[in-house]
Structure formats: C-alpha cells, structure tokens
Amino acid sequence: MIVVAGAGLPLGKAVTQTLNEHSFNYMVLSDSSQLAPELLAGLRYWHLVPGADLTHWVEKNAQEMEFIIDCNPIDQQSASIFLSLWQLGYKHQIPVVGIGKAKADVEPIISEHSAPFFWTILLDKASSDPKNTAKAIYYLIRDRQNPGTKTVESVLRQYS
C-alpha cells in the first residue's frame, strides 16, 4: 500500500493519477483538510485518512506499507509533520519520499535523524508542473535506488 499525504494538493492529485495510470490502486489518501468528493473524482484508492490521524494510522498499519509520499512542501512550518512520517519510515522500514523547496529546510531532518532504508527528498525550487513532479516520484518508486536529495529536473533527465 502507498500512502499519499497532502492528497488534496495539486501535486497530491497528480501523484495519485500518475500512480493509477501505472496500476497502483492500493493507496491511502490523506490531507489536513477534508477531501472533497469532486477532488477525488476519477481517482482509484483504497482508503481515506484525515491528516490529524495519519501518523497514528501509519503506525497501526505499517506492515502493509510500501511507500509514504508526502506531497506537502517541507518548510519550517510543515517540517514536524514530515519528521513524524520520516521517523515512522525508519522505525518500520518504509521508504519515504518528500518535497522540499530548499535544502536548508530539509537538512536538519536528514542530518539529525536516522533515515529510512530508502528515501528521497525532491527539491522543487521552481515549483515544477505537478505532473512532472508526479512523474519523477513514480520513477523513484519504480526504481528505489540511490537515496538522497535530488531535483525534479535531474530525476526526469535521468529517466527520460
């Protein structure tokens, strides 16, 4: 199962659509706001989890997790939420993908906390088209190689 946090964001929807196109349907969608039915129209997923319950839900269901994708941009305000998912990824050996605007925002997490066995933080300084970022995330999930921070552009170049 793949967890998509921030599913209500344009990137979250693009990630879910891209994964659906590649036959990933066993997904849990989560967002800090209520996910409107019209936002979810046409998306295939298994379950919805309110954002406030996500870390508890992941802890409880960790054995079924294949990936955690946090589509919320990591910044000083949202870093604590991402850190919780990062730590659960480490604890339960779940790969984690996050989105950052600047390396300075993600560096404290990377350098001060144990990392999941596979992780990537995509640095998206230019606010790429959500479809391009979603495609980059799909490539990372498919290959699960070379953890670290990368830019959306470098991932797309590598796999194009």
> pLDDT tens, 68-125?
999 999 987 778 889 999 999 999 999 999 999 888 889 999 999 999 999 999 998 7
Structure token digits, residue 33:
């706001």
Mean pLDDT of 42-46: 94
Strand ordering across the sheet containing 67-74: 47-50, 27-31, 2-5, 67-74, 96-100, 119-123, 148-151
pLDDT for 146 equals 84
Q: What pTM does this model have?
A: 0.93
How many other β-carbons are positioned within 10 Å of the β-carbon of residue 115?
16
Q: What rounded mean pLDDT belongs to the chain?
A: 92
Give yes or no for residue 127 having a pLDDT over 80.
no
